[in-house]
Amino acid sequence: MKDNNLAVEIVDGVPAKTLNETYLQETKQIRADYCAPTRAIALAKGHRGALRAFLDSDNDFGVIFEDDAITSAAHTKDRSYGNRSISDILQELSATSSDLNWDLLNMGRCIDLCKSDKKLSEVPGCESVDIVDSPNPMCAHSYMVTRAGAEKLMKWTWPFFAVWDVMPILMHKLSVDGQFRMLSTTPRLFDQDRESVTDGLHNDSNLECDNELGAVYAENQKRHMRNAHMHWNDYSFEHRGTTGHRICPEFVLDVPE
pLDDT of 186-245, one tens digit each? 999 999 986 665 555 555 578 999 999 999 999 999 988 998 899 999 999 999 865 555
What's the farthest any 2 CA atoms get from each other in the chain? 55
Rounded to two decimals, what is the model's pTM?
0.90
pLDDT of the residue at 243: 52
Q: Nearest-CA neighbor of 64 among 124, 99, 104, 117?
A: 104
Share of the chain above pLDDT 70, in %: 86
Q: For 12-54, write each residue's pLDDT tens digit.
A: 999 999 998 888 888 888 887 677 788 999 999 999 999 999 9
Q: Identify the CA nearest to 116 among candidates 191, 182, 211.
A: 211
Taking the alpha carbons at both ends of the chain, their separation in whole angstroms is 30
pLDDT value of residue 256: 38
Looking at residues 104-127, what average pLDDT do you find?
96
* Nearest-angstrom CA–CA distance, 75 and 188: 8
